[in-house]
Structure formats: C-alpha cells, structure tokens
Amino acid sequence: MSAERDASLPNPTKWLLIGAVGLIISFVGMFVDPRMASFCYLIGLIFTTSITIGMLFLVMIHHIFDAYWSTVIRRQAENFLAALPWMAVLFIPLFLITYLYKQDTLWIWMDLEHELHGHGTVGTDPLYLKKTWWLSETFFWIRAAACFAAWIYFARTFRRNSFSQDADGSAEHTYSSRKHAAGGLIVVALTWSMAGFDWIMSLEYHWFSTMFGVWFFANSMRAALAVLILVAAFLVAKGPLKGIFNTKHLHDLSTLSFAFTVFWAYISFSQYFLIWNGNIPEETFWYNFREEGMWYGVSMFLIFGHFLFPFLFMLQFPLKTKYPAMVFMACWILFMQLFDLIFNILPSLKIHGQTAQLLHQPLGFLWLAASVLGGIGILLWAYWTSYYKVKIIPIRDPRIGECLNHNH
C-alpha cells in the first residue's frame, strides 16, 4: 500500500523544472509587456490555486458528510493540498509588479491618479469613494495574506490528521477532521469568495455581482474534480490504484462533476440574467466588454463548451463509468475552466486603454502559456513530492473497508 518510487511514475524534480521554466518566461514577460504579462500571470495563478482550493473543499465535504465512497481518492486530494503554501509564494510577484512598475498595473483603483475615460480620476470617482472601506491597498494585501493563512492552516490540519491516522489508527484524528471541516467550510467559502472579489472583480471596480463568489466556488470544484479523475485514471493505469479504485468510484466522481457542471451553468446564467434584467450601467458594461470582437465568440463557446457539451456527455450513464471517456471530459473541463478565467480577467485590460484580444497581441499567448505551465509545474511538483512520502490510501481510516467494497 506504500506509495513507493516507481520508474513508471513521474519524477517530482522534472515538474519543478517545468514549473521554473514557465515562471521564468512569465517574469521576463513582465519586463517586456508588464500589463499583458501580469494579467496572464494572474490567470495562471488563479487557475492552479482554484484546483487546490477545490481539493480542500472536497476533503472538507468528505469529512462533514462522513462519506465512505471517497476515502480511497481522498488521499490524492490531500496530496494536492501540499501546493497551497507555494501558491502563496507565487502570489508575491503580483505585489512586486504593483509597486516596482505601476500601482495600476492590475488593479487600477490602487492608483488614485489613474485617469478614467470621461470620469476624471479614480480618486475623484464617486463609485470608488463609496467603496474605499473595502478598496484599501493595505487592507487588500492583508486580506490576501489572511486568505492564504486560513487555507494553509486547514490544509495542514487535514493532512496531519490523515497521515497521523495511518501511523496510530486513532479515531480521534477523524473526529478532529470533522470538527475542522464544520468550521472550515464556512471560513474557506468566505475567504475564497473574498479572493474572487479582490483578485478578479476589483480589476473593474465599478462592476459588482453578488453571485460572483459562488461562481468562483463552482469553477474551483469543477477543476478539482477533473484533476482527481485524471489522477485516479493515471494511477489505475500505472498500477498503484488498480483493484482499489473501481468503476463505481469513477462513476461517483463523474456524477459529482456532472452536478457541478449544472450548478456552474445555473450560477452563470442567473448572474447574466439578473444584470441584463436590472440594466444598471455599473453592471452591464462588464458584459458589453465581453460581447465585442473575439470575446463574443469566446462567450458563445463557453455556453456550449463549458456547459452544454459536458452536460450532454455526462448525462449518459455508460460514459461516466469508462476511463477513456472521463479522461477526455476531464481534460475538456480543465481547458474550458481556463477559458472561463480568460473571459473573466483579460477583457479588463480595456480599462487601461489596451486591446484585450490575444489575437492582436501574439506574445500574449506566450505569457499565458508560460504562466499556466509554471503554475501547473509547481502544483504537480508539490503533489508528487507528497505522494512519495505517504501511503497511497488512508489505510486506517474507519471507513476504508466500506470504501474498498464499494461496488453497488
């Protein structure tokens, strides 16, 4: 049952090197084209961080519901939590670019002298003045630090309890995880929503949506479930989870992915419908930006690619039990998840007077690819490093026997 070194499994060092190369290219981009490269870096960071936060939510949901079917795959989610401290480190360049280049490189409200089109400056903008209680530079960075501190605390607690139980078999570790899950679900939900408001919504601080935090949560869950399906399929194919993770487990993971596909569509449509129905300029302009040029095609692609296609695909029971089908769908969902973040973040470049269309800025593709690859490299380096240090499944979890016999 030990997760021992296997020549057929990835070497963590290789992923670290891949991540380092991607990040170096991203940092070079910040000197060549600071704003575009910084926006692309933000996309890559949020993409990888959303996967780890989704894993944290899955671990907490497992404990709060005392689920048994997910016990064998929970360990892999716990391994991904090892990346959270490194996601905090990767957030530091955003702080540095803000004060080493221009304070409005990403978040224009940080520069009170930033000129608004037809509205004077940020410092004289009534909408900004009404939001200064939240849009404070010091408070912004404190919130970011508090978010990462909370996530890392819960991640380490669940990992410690799980790994300690492998050694001593004490049920106290399970009780501790349940208690932390009860409070953690509330804390992580609030802090992750807060991060969404700060890191994405405040890029265009005039805009607001009460449903944005829920959209952020739904996307992180979809990404985490897709990665878990890929990891499970890989470990079954390579042998470590063969005979342990069965098609019933795969079906349950796929069904959960299907549920969050519907949930994402509900939230996304509701946000659009409420803003369209309210017809308030401070809200509608956000969608106006995203219905121009290439972004209209992207928005249509999201409707059909991020919802309708996965919905119809996973609606079919046989496909949810076949590894090749679900590996394809997991890859598709991750691709669309990245598209969704691009759609939500990159058009904000327009408020800087820059074109936000990658087709007009070919180097933008390089900065984006490097940022995503850099984040994924660090994420998988942390995962495989943790993987080789612990048992492949929670061997002394009270529900492990039921989970291994989960066939109906």
Residue 181: which domain range? 12-404
The answer to whether position 238 is within a domain reads yes
Per-residue model confidence (pLDDT) at position 230: 97
Residue 16 placed within a domain? yes
- Which pLDDT does position 370 carry in this prediction? 96
What pLDDT does 355 receive? 64
8 A C-beta contact, residue 332 and residue 310 = yes
Q: Strand locations in 99-228, DSSP E?
A: 115-116, 120-121
4 within some domain:
no
How far does the chain reach from its first CA to its final CA, in angstroms? 24
Residue with tokens 């598209």: 339
**Tens of pLDDT, residue by residue, the chain (408 residues):** 444 566 678 899 999 999 999 999 999 999 998 999 999 999 999 999 999 999 999 999 999 999 899 999 999 999 999 999 999 999 999 999 999 988 989 999 999 998 887 778 999 999 899 999 999 999 999 999 999 999 999 999 999 999 999 999 999 999 999 999 999 999 999 999 999 999 999 999 999 998 999 999 999 999 999 999 999 999 999 989 999 999 999 999 999 999 999 999 999 999 999 999 988 888 898 998 888 888 898 899 999 999 999 999 999 999 999 999 999 999 999 999 999 999 999 999 888 776 666 656 778 889 999 999 999 999 999 999 999 999 999 999 998 999 988 875
Q: Residue 1: what pLDDT?
A: 45
User: Could you give the CA distance from residue 290 to residue 203 in angstroms, rounded to a whole number?
Assistant: 14
Per the structure, the count of domains in the chain is: 1
Q: Which of 362, 285, 403, 371 is nearest to 18 (CA)?
A: 371
Within a domain: residue 258?
yes
Asked whether residue 199 is domain-assigned, the answer is yes
Cβ contact 383:55 at 8 Å:
no
Residues in the chain: 408
For residue 5, being part of any structural domain is answered with: no
Q: Which long-range contacts (CB under 8 A, 24 or more apart) does 265-268 make?
A: 265/306, 265/307, 265/311, 267/211, 267/214, 267/215, 267/218, 268/215, 268/302, 268/307
* Stated pTM of the model: 0.95
Q: What is the pLDDT of residue 171?
A: 92
pLDDT of the residue at 358: 65
Separation between Cα atoms, residue 53 and residue 225, nearest integer Å: 11
Element (H, E) at 120: strand 120-121
Residues 6+ apart with CB under 8 A from 303: none
- Beta partners for residue 120, in sequence order: 116
Residues paired with 391 in a beta bridge: 2
Question: Which of 151, 174, 17, 69 shows the shortest CA–CA distance to 406?
Answer: 69
Please give the backbone phi and psi of residue 392, each rounded to the nearest 5 degrees, phi first: -75, -25
CA distance 218 to 216: 6
Tell me what pLDDT residue 359 has: 56
